[in-house]
Copies of this chain bind each other. A is one copy, B any other.
Amino acid sequence: MGEPIVSEIRVISFGLGPIGSEVARVAASKSNMRLVGAVDIDPSKVGRTVEEVTGAPSEVIVSSSLEEALQNTEADLILHTTSSFLEVVKPQIESAIEKGLSVVSTCEELSYPWRTYPGLATELDMKAKEANVRILGTGVNPGFVMDAFPLTVTTVCQKVDRIHIERVVDAGGRRLQLQRKVGAGLTVEEFRQLVATGNVRHVGLPESAWMIIDAMGWECKDFEESIEPIVAEREILAAIGNIQPGQVAGVRQTIRAYGRDIEKLVLDLKMYVGADEPVDHIQIWGIPDLDLRFDGGVHGDRATASIVVNAASVLMNLPPGLRTMLDVMPLRFRS
């Protein structure tokens, strides 16, 4: 029907934690994808089958390194889920590039590194182009609900003055890891100490802000970011241990960006245990105004695994280099 023909993509799952395992299961379900390898550093996973470790119906044996995985197979792409931080994943991604593999990674800082790590971004972009491979960072957030998807919504606008995006996540319905990440159960003082040392925060919100600012062509030189505790007002039952009134239930992280002293962008992310009404809410002021809401919100883990795998099919048709979701979802308001 006129679409570019994508042949089967041979993928290696790199990282088999909770998200990586879910990514492997989704990849294994796709008709245009074949899981040909899996990598994890956890000795309790290495040597077992992907099915034993992840539940994905695959007899592929988990390797301890990409080199080992490639001894018995060729591949096109790695689905990479090891760390949120660009400096941690950089050698892993460079290793994939050297082996001629494209990469879709959940690394939050890779989602839009052109502003936050311009040097690393340029370096990865050049190496990927030389090796004729494609690199992409994506996931539900950053990568979709608070950046690329609202930009897609601006397609219907003749003018965009201001964007306000709110995401409310019920951390109680999510992995224990997320409940710890948002500071659930801490005292307010403990929470503030962890914020001060950078240990309680959602990685990727600045990347979302820069992606939107650049895509809209707004003259925002910098923005304000705040990280505040959401304090329990009643006892909240939680897998991590019940949270008492006055203890921290989670985190509210907000970015406000201004262009020529006018507020252009607000990203308002609340992740806490006991959030009764999860939602993704996008408001756009312009011509026309728009008010869009996902009632119940978009489930983070389900969505991240889906986006990573679905984006891989699009990525393989893009020009080589370090790509972003602006390339994978190119339709939006153009100034």
Contacts and interface: CB of A to CB of B under 8 A. Distances in A.
B158 A302 contact: yes
B310 A288 contact: no
A329 interface: yes
Contacts of A76: none
A219 interface: no
A313 B334 contact: yes
A31 interface: yes
Nearest to A321: B2
Contacts of A327: 2-4
Interface in A297-321: 298-299, 302-303, 305-307, 309-311, 313-314, 317, 319, 321
A285 interface: no
A104 to B, nearest CB: 12
A152 to B, nearest CB: 6
A306 B319 contact: no
A3 B302 CA distance: 29
Q: In the assembly, how many copies of this chain are there?
A: 2
B298 A295 contact: no
A331 B333 contact: no
Contact of A326 (B3, B326, B330): B3
Given A155-B144, A290-B294, A311 B331 contact: yes
Contact of A152 (B149, B156, B287, B288): B149
B299 A288 contact: yes
B32 A334 contact: yes
B298 A156 contact: yes
A123 to B, nearest CB: 13
A332 B303 contact: no
B290 A292 contact: no
A322 interface: yes
Interface in A152-187: 152, 155-159
Contacts of A30: 334-335
B1 A307 contact: no
A235 interface: no
Contacts of A331: 310-311, 314, 328-329
A163 to B, nearest CB: 15
A323 B307 CA distance: 24
Interface of A: 1-4, 26, 29-32, 114, 125, 140, 144, 149, 152, 155-159, 214, 287-296, 298-299, 302-303, 305-307, 309-311, 313-314, 317, 319, 321-324, 326-335
26 contacts: A1-B114, A1-B326, A2-B114, A2-B321, A3-B330, A4-B319, A4-B327, A29-B159, A30-B335, A144-B156, A152-B152, A155-B307, A156-B302, A156-B306, A156-B307, A157-B306, A158-B306, A288-B299, A288-B302, A289-B296, A292-B293, A292-B294, A293-B293, A310-B332, A311-B331, A328-B331
